[in-house]
Every structure is written in structure tokens, then in C-alpha cells.
Amino acid sequence: MCGRFVSASPPDELAKYFGALEPDGGLEPNFNVAPTNEVYVVRANDENRQISRLRWGLVPFWAKDLKIGSKMINARAETVAEKPAFRTSYRRRRCVIPADGFYEWAKVDGQKAKQPFFIHRHDGEPIVFAGLWERWRPRLEDGKTIDEEAEPVETCTILTTTPNKTMEAIHNRMPVLLAPSVWDDWLAPDSDPDHISSLMVPAPDDLLDLYPISTAVNNVKNKGDHLIDPLPDLPATADRSIS
């Protein structure tokens, strides 16, 4: 899974990188993005790409309230086309979510607590997660009728798949990462479903680097860049069977 990540690049740099329009207002650099935080999302319309700010944790349009979103931060590539919570977004509302890196935790021999690792691209380029988005509105007092006049809440989720060789040393899942050459295909609502399915594969084995970091990242209140400072290397004995 992908439960925490880094979003520190300013919106003007992201707009240039994606060839997109900037969002209406930026976010503070966040080295510990957690579920329900606002994140940058890139979507496409008929004329251009647009960077928006969405809440992380997808809330299906049929949900009674926002609470479900905290459990919907990831969607499995193998089942996303069938799961009721994701299948409509998967068909019609795909997006990409930029990050400067992400975190995973692994068991290490001789260490009681799980060890956090920071994962980033080997070449220093932004990581681009495959994502889905949804628009949700609260319901009226009857609990059934959607309040069409209420301000909508837009939310998103990150797709995950099986790990590549780099990630399998510490975890049994990894986020789906998309290369620039397939962004347009992923974002277009009319792309061939079989082609879209073929994009949800592990990243190349040489794309990512990882290293151990302080357990300070475990506390979501910690948001600074010190969180990605490396610790001395640990033995390569991580247990990939963790959840």
C-alpha cells in the first residue's frame, strides 16, 4: 500500500512539469502527507491539464458521509474495475498524483519496531502515482437524497500493484507509477480499457532508490524535511510479509 508520501514541490514547478494550469491556491510543503490531507492532483479536460487540490481518501458518490474516505486511500489494480467503491471512477475519472517520494515500513531483524524507509526516484524526478478521483455531496435529512446545492467535496485514491525487485525487499505492494509517455492515455476518459489495465504494472526495477529514516515519520504531526534524512544503512533482512 501507499499510506504516507512527500509533497514538497511548489505548484508552479509542478505546472511546468506536467504542462498544466496551476491550482487556485497552493499547499504548504508537506513531508508527511497522511490520509484526509489535501494533495495536488492532475486532471485533464477537453483543452488542457489542470492541477487541483483534492482530499486524499476517495469517497464514493453514494457514501453517506466522508468517514469512509480514510479507508479508501489505495485501490488495488487487480480489483479496481469491479469494486463498487472504485469502478465508476476507474472508468471515467482517472488522475495522476505527483509526489517527491513515499514511505513504507518493514520488519528488520533485531529491531522491535518496524523500520520506515523513504523511497524516491533514482534520477530525482517527481514520482507520478496513478490515481482516481470522485466528487461527493452530502445528503439531506432523509439520509437518501443528495443535496445538489451543497458544495461538493472532491477526493482521490492511489492505485497499487505488486512490487518490483526494489520494493519487494520491504513490502508486498507498491503504488502504480506512470511515465510521461502514458499520462495522456491514463487521463483520457475514452481510452481503451485493456490499454489502461496494461499500465497498472510494477515500475522498472532500476527506477527507485530507498533508504532507512527516523521513526519521527510515524507521527503525522511531524511535517518537516528532516523526515527524509537518511540513517546508516541497515542489513537487507526486511520481512516483506508485512501488511
Average pLDDT for residues 130-146, to the nearest whole number? Answer: 83
Known catalytic residue at 78: no
pLDDT tens per residue across span 120-129: 999 999 999 9
Known catalytic residue at 156: no
pLDDT tens per residue across span 153-197: 999 999 999 999 999 999 999 999 999 999 999 999 999 999 999
pLDDT surpassing 60 at residue 219: yes
Q: Of 38, 95, 104, 156, which residue is the catalytic one? A: 104
pLDDT surpassing 70 at residue 242: no
Q: Give the start-to-end residue ranges of the domains of the chain.
A: 5-228
Superfamily name with CATH number, domain 5-228: SOS response associated peptidase-like (3.90.1680.10)
C-beta atoms surrounding 50 within 10 Å? 18
- pTM for this predicted structure: 0.92
pLDDT tens per residue across span 34-88: 999 999 999 998 789 999 999 999 999 999 889 999 999 999 999 999 999 999 9
What value does the mean pLDDT of the chain take? 92
